[in-house]
Structure 1
Amino acid sequence: MTKTKIVATLGPASFDESIITKMADKGLATIRINTAHISEGYITDVSRLVYKINEKYNKKLGIMVDLKGPELRTGEFPGGILNITAGNTYGISDNPGVKSDISINYKISDYVDKDTLIAINDGRVRFNVESISNGVITTRAMDTGTIHDRSRVNIPGKYIDLGVLTDRDKMFLEEGLKNNINFYALSFVQSRENVYELQDYIYDRKGQGDIISKIETKSGYDNLESIVKASDFIMVARGDLGVELPLKEVAMAQKRIIDISHKYAVPTIVATQMLESMVNSDSPTRAEVSDVTNAILDDTDAVMLSEETAIGKYPVEAVTYLYEISKYVESQSTSFPEPENFMVDPIAFSVAKGVKIMSNTIDVSSIIAMTRTGHTAKILSAIRPVNDIYAIVQTEWLARSINLMRGVIPVVLPEAQAKEENIYDIINKIAPLGLLNPGEKAIVVSGSPSLYLGGTNNIRVISIGRFIGRGYPAGHNVTGKIDTDAPENGNIILLDRYDSNIDYSKYNAAIIKSDVTNRIIDKFLDAGKTLVYNAELVKQINKNTTISIDADTGIITEI
């Protein structure tokens, strides 16, 4: 799987067990539900299907409920449409009792003044405010175009207190809480207080759920740092952000949002029009491929599809393209930067930096994080190590949540085992899942003294397999069978003491329980053989037992 995670919006084109499963096989991490287009009961139906797929195919798909939030909208027009001509004047009324060319569902006259820009229909038609009198805002059209019933209205650069949650949002929140949804995306976040309000709503109902703050307003962008610090995830919602900011600024805004989020170890999602042409086409445009590539190089944690998978003709193909692009980019750029200035948990950050240095120096296959809350996995993910991060957690809910973090692969281990068993027992339980190969080395990160309790402050390097001993190593990694009598049938010899009468050239390695001289060590090295001396064994190694010798640590494991 790729380190970059994929979010796909569910809709008529993809609400199918086979399609979701195929998308999951190509790296899909989280299903998004757009509440703007659903009715009550839909979240429950999606939850049942996704949780069934998770159990049936051993997936860890999370679900994101994207709350529509309060919006500025126009009223309705005769015939459902209003044609606008650039240069003409138009009246806009926010008072239901006052008629004008265009009506708006919120009292914006308290917030706008002369020369304020009002953008309608996703910014396609813009108006400049000339005056405000008797409940009517007189504007001059800057563009020629059309406005439809209930078109979206944006007022860039103005903080308009629309509230946070509508009654419709609260209905879907209640349904989401009943179904143990992992993520709630909050639209039009303008300040950290908006985030706090949603957190309080969930907390007061004794629920759980990570908050994804969507940065899509100028005020939200201006208050970015405080919003990041209050949030669990950040979404670069480029659709409305491209209306609120000049289009030329959106790409740089994306980079700044990701950079600031990264400093606080807050994962990011880049959304909107990633592969929009694939709504109708079976392949993306070159510009779209470049866009996805740059989002990955910007260091985002995840990329998101909207209409491509909700109503598009090729939902599986769209996810597959994101997977293939991510796989290629990550193969070409293997080193992604850690935050230059890290603003949270200095102890865990220092431990994570140590892990990254070790993973770049030692030949390890993976990083294993023992995490009770997901915090360790989050910090490690933010440090951007080359290796995959296997996060050992105790609940399916937490596994679905951390599955959206870059480079993190969740593994569920029941709480009782995590509390009572030592690290080698835990590794031996997850190794058969096909995640770890015997003989490989892994870096294990955990709290201390207990693996179960939190506090990221412990690092160790282990070899995958059942630990049977350790000594001082010289040479290279070796895997083979113990055979002291017939070297032609085996390739590792085990001795209590070095014996000069033995022809060691017939063996790939020797394990000697006593000390040896430098001459003996050099003899093995010159011959390209591996030696472990002063070896101490915790159990007897029987003849024909397959073992692995880690030449970096001297650890001997049974495979």
Structure 2
Amino acid sequence: MNMLTSLSAAHLDTLDDAALMDTVLALREAVVSEAAPRVAAFTAAAGREDAALANLAHYLTLRRHDLRPLQRQLMRRGLSSLGRLESRVLPTLDAVILALAALGGRKKKPAITEPDAATFFAGEARLDAAAEGALGPEPEGRATRIMVTLPSEAASDPDFTLSLARRGMDIARINCAHDDAESWRAMATHVRAAGATLGRRLTVLMDIAGPKIRTGAVLPMKKGKPAGRLMTGDAFRLVAEGEPRIDDEVAFSAAVTLPEIVLRLRIGDRVRYDDGKVEGVVESLAEGEAVIRVHHARAAGTKLKPEKGINLPDTALGLSPLTDKDDADLATVIECADMVGYSFVSRPEDIDLLDAAIARHGGGRTHPLGLMAKIERPEAVTNLPDLIARAARRGGFSVMIARGDLAAEIGFERLAEMQEELLWICEAAAVPTIWATQVLEDLVRDGVPSRGEMTDAAMAARAECVMLNKGPAVGEAVELLDRLLARMSDHLDKKTPQLRALASW
């Protein structure tokens, strides 16, 4: 009987405690055996044996099996249902096996060492240490750090940054897609000064821009502003070179900031515009241009504007994640930042590319520059375990779940499950995560949060860090998030409910 058959509901229903123990023991042996090639590959990529990577390999192997029937059998016996084993795969299986052996009256225990407390919770300790190393110390009163994107005014107003820090900011994000090196230095200086004033470490992240695929000039225009709205059924033309072109059949057109991507499109490729507000499919190709037919759009339509993002989930882009601008900006990043944010990273070789550029710039750093990989593309999701293994060689690694671009790439309906899976994979590997995009967006922009975004922010407490974007009411958002995350720390630790005493009944 193979392992998948042995985990079927009909089979498990007939087993007594001793036989169920044999099934879980066989599962453990299968996991170790099947994971061995992956453990070896991870060890080679990291250049050393690594307990977190071994646990990641075991977790990925275990999750290839459908564990739901087994979970129900363990649940009814009052044992761990394996639902919270991300950071401790083998210790959890070992504890379950020994418990089943005792329930089944086995006089001779399996040849497994009972995990002590330090062994059982070692994965949690590894993640805590990795988070502190990459993101800075855990703030007092809550487990999750708060990152804030600094606006341009932060370069000239040190009190603005100090106020954010007083309200609860732990990490300042400087977006290198905006402003210039002089402004970035000033922002970083103000962050360091705020930390010194408050007597705590504040971390500086500088986010290099990467290859941004955006619209350029657009047509039609009316008095200098975009005219008309893209509706379902409309077509728009993307042009690689020259001015956008409209005609009787295609009434909308845009140039693009990276012309080569138009040449890589194929008929049938999906195209998403402005964070997925418009989705279409490439209908026809001509020299240097592509016509896209809109399949989904808002009921009121969406204007085609310059400087809006384009996502191409089906297209092999072949773009380097490190642009010439990024390479030049790294000199300032190395000088000012604790970690660098890396967009479009998809393959382990992309990490080598960045590290080679950092080495070329050199600099007198006393500690390595941390790396935060932004998971935005389907390739990055697929290759995440290998990215983690490669990054283990350098250390200081974290992952941003960039939910805006990720949703536009994989589709909104898949985002909810994917953000969960990314949290699980990173926890298994002891890699800290940053929950990003539109957190408390209404509050930051308008001063009043929506009900939905309050729930979203509460669920973000499962990450090691939550990112707020800039906006008029960002200070109020930091204060609210500080209080919310502190309360959620009493209720939730990753996937584990914290059963503190209820106060309302």
- 1:81 corresponds to which residue? 226
Amino acid at match of 1:57: L
Say whether the 8 Å CA contact 1:98–1:136 is kept in structure 2: no
Q: Deviation at 1:336?
A: 4.3
User: 2:353 matched to 1:197?
Assistant: yes
Amino acid at match of 1:146: K
Amino acid at match of 2:177: A
Amino acid at match of 1:147: L
Cα distance in 1 for partners of 2:207, 2:254 equals: 29
- 1:56 corresponds to which residue? 197
Say whether the 8 Å CA contact 1:12–1:311 is kept in structure 2: no
Cα distance in 2 for partners of 1:252, 1:13 equals: 37
- 2:236 corresponds to which residue? 90
Q: Deviation at 1:337?
A: 5.8
Bigger drift between 244-253 and 49-58 goes to 49-58
Cα distance in 2 for partners of 1:90, 1:43 equals: 38
Map residues 126-275 of structure 1 onto 2, 5 A cutoff. Answer: 126-142=279-295, 143=297, 144-179=301-336, 181-207=337-363, 208-231=368-391, 232-275=397-440
3-state secondary structure, aligned to 2:206: strand
Say whether the 8 Å CA contact 1:7–1:29 is kept in structure 2: yes
- 1:277 corresponds to which residue? 442
3-state secondary structure, aligned to 2:303: strand
Cα distance in 1 for partners of 2:175, 2:353 equals: 20
More strand by share: 1
- 2:255 corresponds to which residue? 103
Q: Deviation at 1:14?
A: 5.4
- 1:35 corresponds to which residue? 176
3-state secondary structure, aligned to 1:287: helix
Cα distance in 2 for partners of 1:29, 1:63 equals: 9
- 1:71 corresponds to which residue? 212
Q: CA distance change for structure 1 residues 111 and 102 in 2, over 3 Å: closer, same or farther?
A: same
Say whether the 8 Å CA contact 2:215–2:309 is kept in structure 1: yes
From the CA coordinates, give the structure whose radius of gyration is larger: 1
Amino acid at match of 1:103: A
Cα distance in 1 for partners of 2:294, 2:390 equals: 39
Cα distance in 1 for partners of 2:451, 2:262 equals: 44
CA offsets 1:239-270 (integer angstroms, 9 cap, x no match):
11111121111111111111111222111000
3-state secondary structure, aligned to 1:284: coil
Q: Deviation at 1:219?
A: 2.1
Say whether the 8 Å CA contact 1:24–1:59 is kept in structure 2: no
Cα distance in 2 for partners of 1:10, 1:98 equals: 34
Q: CA distance change for structure 1 residues 97 and 284 in 2, over 3 Å: closer, same or farther?
A: closer
Say whether the 8 Å CA contact 1:8–1:32 is kept in structure 2: yes
Say whether the 8 Å CA contact 1:158–1:218 is kept in structure 2: no
Q: Deviation at 1:332?
A: 2.2
CA offsets 1:342-384 (integer angstroms, 9 cap, x no match):
xxxxxxxxxxxxxxxxxxxxxxxxxxxxxxxxxxxxxxxxxx9
CA offsets 1:285-319 (integer angstroms, 9 cap, x no match):
221121011122xx31110101xxx232x222211
For structure 1, the 5+ residue unaligned runs are: 339-383, 387-559
Q: Deviation at 1:59?
A: 1.8
- 1:444 corresponds to which residue? none
Say whether the 8 Å CA contact 2:491–2:498 is kept in structure 1: no
Q: CA distance change for structure 1 residues 97 and 316 in 2, over 3 Å: closer, same or farther?
A: closer
- 1:45 corresponds to which residue? 186
CA RMSD of aligned residues (A): 2.6
Give the TM-score, by structure 2 length.
0.61
Q: Deviation at 1:102?
A: 2.7
More helix by share: 2
Q: CA distance change for structure 1 residues 36 and 82 in 2, over 3 Å: closer, same or farther?
A: farther
Q: Deviation at 1:97?
A: 8.2
2:465 aligned residue (302, 313, 316): 302
Give the TM-score, by structure 1 length.
0.56
Say whether the 8 Å CA contact 1:186–1:214 is kept in structure 2: yes
Number of aligned residues: 333
Percent of paired sites with the same residue: 25
Q: CA distance change for structure 1 residues 145 and 271 in 2, over 3 Å: closer, same or farther?
A: same
Bigger drift between 10-19 and 233-242 goes to 10-19
Say whether the 8 Å CA contact 1:98–1:135 is kept in structure 2: no
For structure 2, the 5+ residue unaligned runs are: 1-139, 247-252, 392-396, 500-505
Cα distance in 1 for partners of 2:282, 2:477 equals: 42
Say whether the 8 Å CA contact 2:374–2:399 is kept in structure 1: yes
- 1:426 corresponds to which residue? none
Amino acid at match of 1:91: R
Map residues 324-339 of structure 1 onto 2, 5 A cutoff. Answer: 324-333=483-492, 335-336=493-494
Say whether the 8 Å CA contact 1:30–1:62 is kept in structure 2: yes
Cα distance in 1 for partners of 2:495, 2:359 equals: 35
Amino acid at match of 2:144: T
Q: CA distance change for structure 1 residues 138 and 325 in 2, over 3 Å: closer, same or farther?
A: same
